Amino acid sequence: MRRLWIPLALAAALGPGAALALTAEEIVDRANRASFYAGDDGIARATLVISDKEGRTREREFTILRKDAEDGGEQLYYVYFHKPGDVRRTVFLVHKRVGRDDDRWLYLPALDLVRRIAASDKRTSFVGSHFFYEDVSGRSPAEDTHALAEETPEHYVLDNVPKDPRSVEFTRYRVWIDKQTFLPLAAEYTDAQGKVYRRMEVLEVKDVGGYPTVLRARMEDRNTGGSTLLTFEEVAYDKGISADIFTERYLRNPPREYIRR
């Protein structure tokens, strides 16, 4: 599920005058909540279309479940793969932490093996796509310093610099945040040579149950010439998903009520 969700009513209640007074940290906090904390939980069907520079494509289809422990705080994610056959029944589980590294596991059904994903691997490819494991549950705002670079009638433009540059492959990234929804609509990552090598762009946003929701987004890798289109369908919030599902027991026994299709 996209990492981009906040009630429109909140922004409207604050009004444009209040929005102008926001600090960079306040904007980032609202963008984080808008991206990842719509409702108390959420579910969606998703498709990844992975393209290489030759135009060849591969697809991944999965269901993603999310449950919040607290608004703006710790979260649980469960990703179950339907297609293609070589990844079917694979499960990706995330316990998102605050103030420390997330816990991530990958269940590989062909080997009946649960593999823990090291914190050092969080910025590697998510199931062969151009999205990273960290993109699924979101990068902690506390890992970067933030500065308002520009403000337009439509966007807050923020520059973000990692506090520990040795832990990531970028030197900074710039994000365009919608002033009405606080959803990040684009992000560009810059390498040590000052080149933008990675770009995310939101292609479609729709109101779902009162929450602005990203339905389509593309991640482009300018070094390889490839890109991945991510599409969400059947998005729903506040389904009363049990926290028990986000445990190792459900890696081998997926919750049929949510993943059946």
Q: What would the mean pLDDT of 215-233 be, rounded to a whole number?
A: 98
pTM: 0.87
What does the alpha-carbon distance between residue 116 and residue 131 come to, in Å, rounded to a whole number? 19
**Residue 40 CA from chain centroid, whole number:** 16
Range 30-56 average pLDDT: 96
Instruction: Between 86 and 156, name the one with better pLDDT.
Output: 156
Q: Does residue 14 carry a pLDDT above 50?
A: no
pLDDT number for residue 121 = 82
Q: What is the mean pLDDT of residues 26-51?
A: 97
Mean pLDDT, to the nearest integer, of 48-71? Answer: 96
Query: Residue 207 and residue 147: Cα distance in Å, rounded?
Result: 29
Look at residue 136 and tell me whether its pLDDT is greater than 60: yes
C-beta separation of 24 from 38 below 8 A: no
How high is the mean pLDDT of the chain? 90
Residue 206 has pLDDT above 80, yes or no: yes
Question: What is the chain's alpha carbon radius of gyration, rounded to the nearest angstrom?
Answer: 18
Q: Which of 195, 143, 167, 162 is nearest to 32 (CA)?
A: 143
Q: What is the pLDDT of residue 20?
A: 55
